[in-house]
């Protein structure tokens, strides 16, 4: 991650500073079971609380493959699940007002259970299956507050 301040000229001719965070692109995986989704919950330092979200992440160093490979890795790492089918749903920008990072959203189906292989920062993570109704209730109750997860859910719903 890098943080920079760019000197910019606005459309009206005035000059200003624009702060930008540059981060590598990420993936969000929508693990779909027959009547619901698999979610992960973890503590998020920036908001000072735990929250539920879809599995997601980015390469921690040099990329070891494409975004499909990253989606498979993140899903297996965080939940132990291995997808039989992985389909790209779209590309989003979670915070383009200050961050260049974008993310690819994937739908995972035909899931086979396995053992999570979580990174040291994810040791407090838990995962569970929630029904469609539970997902909506959790979102309305503020248990799911991740913008990427909510956008990924919307992309899933648009698939029909």
Domain 24-87+102-158, CATH class in plain words: alpha beta
- On the question of pLDDT at 63 being above 80, the answer is no
Average of per-residue pLDDT values in the chain: 95
- On the question of pLDDT at 160 being above 70, the answer is no
Q: How many CA atoms lie within 13 A of 107 on its CB side?
A: 18
Q: What does the pLDDT average to over 97-115?
A: 95
Q: How many residues does the chain have?
A: 160
- pTM here is 0.92
Cα separation of the two ends of the chain: 36
- For the chain, domain boundaries: 24-87+102-158
Smallest CA-to-CA distance from 30 within 21, 38, 22 is with 38
Q: Are strands 56-57 and 26-33 parallel, antiparallel or unpaired?
A: antiparallel
* pLDDT for 3: 95
């Amino acid at each position: 991650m890098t943080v920079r301040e760019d000197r910019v000229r606005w459309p009206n001719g005035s000059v200003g500073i624009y702060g930008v965070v540059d981060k590598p692109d990420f993936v969000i995986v929508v693990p779909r079971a027959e009547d619901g989704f698999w979610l992960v919950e973890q503590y998020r330092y920036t908001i000072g609380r735990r929250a539920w979200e879809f599995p997601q992440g980015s390469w921690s160093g040099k990329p070891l493959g494409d975004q499909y490979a990253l989606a498979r890795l993140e899903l297996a790492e965080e939940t132990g699940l291995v997808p039989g089918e992985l389909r790209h749903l779209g590309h989003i920008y979670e915070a383009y007002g200050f961050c260049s990072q974008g993310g690819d959203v994937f739908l995972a189906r035909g899931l086979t259970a396995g053992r999570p292989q979580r990174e040291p920062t994810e040791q407090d993570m838990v995962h569970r299956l929630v029904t469609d109704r539970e997902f909506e209730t959790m979102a309305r109750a503020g248990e799911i507050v991740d913008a990427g997860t909510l956008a990924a859910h919307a992309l899933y719903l648009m698939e029909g």
